[in-house]
Each structure stands twice: as structure tokens, then as C-alpha cells.
Amino acid sequence: MAALRPLRRMLQDTFCCPVPFGDSEVISTPPRYIAVDAPSSVSASDLLEVMQARRSHYQLSRKVPLSTTRIDEIVQEALAEVPSAFNSQSNRVTVLHGQQHDRLWDIITKILRAKVPDEKWEHTSQKMKNFKKAAGTILFFEDQQIVEDLQERYPDYATEVPLWAAQSDGMLQYAVWTLLAAEDIGANLQHYNPIIDEEVAKAWNVPQKWKLKGQLVFGGITGEPKPKDYMPMADRFRSYA
């Protein structure tokens, strides 16, 4: 995967599109994705290779090939480059490393223990222990203040704004996950929100308007991912010319 690390530059080109996603002034400027002849050190085949490497890894360890500082930088780079509706930039992120990661999964375990029946607890408890073995967790949030402001500014699109914000959040999650895969760091995406929202907000002083959307657990890869099944492409894709 080392050869794919220049992927960050291509990510900046790939995850760009015209209004409503992208820069708010892009109406008067050609969308960047149509510049097909722009030089790039990474080809589409290279990008596809790292996309294929991005899998759900559940067997994770504390040992990762990057420092916490570098991981934070990668997340920030993705956060800066991923598009959002009208360049609203509604995505928010908190990265929990080491002991703070442990603290999160202790909180989640405690919450689930009060909800999960005794006969199912052993399975749930083992899942929590496996998550805690990882190096860290990335918390993805959506700033509801941004969403609400956008709805007021563009009332004709008010019902669509939450969907656009969710699409941007999904692109960010995927971008971060893929960039980590390019650095040989495994991850899996969890959704224990909303039952953990209140305790997470208390523990890490989360602003009131930040809505938790997902938890990306990451760490060193210690096992193979489960086989992935693919639906027939004929059922999923159409092309007309």
C-alpha cells in the first residue's frame, strides 16, 4: 500500500463536484472533475486497488504503522477536502486514541449492559472487548446548526438539506476509511448512536448541535476480513450512450 500513499492528492480531485456539492462559487467555474487530462501520480486503477483494500476488519490491535499525530492529519485532510452541499462544511470529527478510546468502549459497554438481556450478554460483551482492543475510534458528527441555517437560506430545498448533509457525512466516513486502508490500518464502522449520544457528549464536551452519526474503530490488522459477496452487476448498473 505504500505506493498508493499519493492517493491523498487524487482524493482531493475525486471527491469534488459542482453545486450543490463543492464550492459555493463553482457556478461560474468549470467543475474540477471534468478536467480529465489533469496530471496525477495516481491512476484510477491505483485508486480502485485501495478501494478494494478497504474492508471491514474486526480483528484489530493497538499496533498501527502511523503516529497519532499522522492519523489526526489524515483525518483533517479528508475533512477539509470532502465536499458538502453549498460548501456548508457540516461535518465534525473527534478522534479518540488509546485511553480515550478505552473510555468510549467502557461507556458503551455500561450502557449496553443495562439494555441487553442476560442470555445475550456474552456475545455482546465479547464484541465490546474486541472493539476495545483496537487503537482508536473516530467519532463522526453532523452540525445541526449548519443544517438548520442552510434550510432557512434555501427554503425550496429545506426537505433535502438533511439528506445532502448525510451524503457528505457518508463521503467523509468512506474517505477516512479508505485513506487508513492505504496506510495498512484496518477499521470497521459502528452505529451505537443515539443510545450513547448523551454520555459521549458529557465525556468529551461535545457541542449541543453536534449530532453523532457513526463510530469508526481502527487499529492494526491481525486477521482477514470476511469474504465479500457481490450482487450481479447487471442488476445494479445501466449505461446509455
pTM: 0.85
pLDDT of residue 29: 32
Question: What is the rounded radius of gyration, in angstroms, for the C-alpha atoms of the chain?
Answer: 19
Is a pLDDT exceeding 90 seen at residue 132? yes
pLDDT bucket at 180, cuts 50 / 70 / 90: very high
Q: Of 14 and 199, which is predicted with more confidence? A: 199
Q: What is the mean pLDDT of residues 138-142?
A: 99
pLDDT at position 21: 44
* More confident site: 26 or 113: 113
Q: What is the rounded CA–CA span in Å between residue 130 and residue 224?
A: 15
39 pLDDT more than 60 = no
| Amino acid code (one letter) for 186 | G
Q: Per-residue pLDDT averaged across 166-188, rounded?
A: 99
Rounded average pLDDT over 173-200: 99
pLDDT over 70, % of the chain:
83
- Reply yes or no on whether the pLDDT at 169 is more than 70: yes
Domain covering 63-224 assigned CATH 3.30.565.10 in the classification: no
Query: What are the pLDDT digits (tens) for 82-98?
Result: 999 999 999 999 999 99
Say which residue, 76 or 17, is predicted with more confidence: 76
Domain map (residue ranges) of the chain: 63-224
Say what the pLDDT of residue 33 is.
32
What's residue 1's pLDDT? Answer: 53
Q: What is the pLDDT of residues 152-161, one digit of tens each?
A: 999 999 999 9
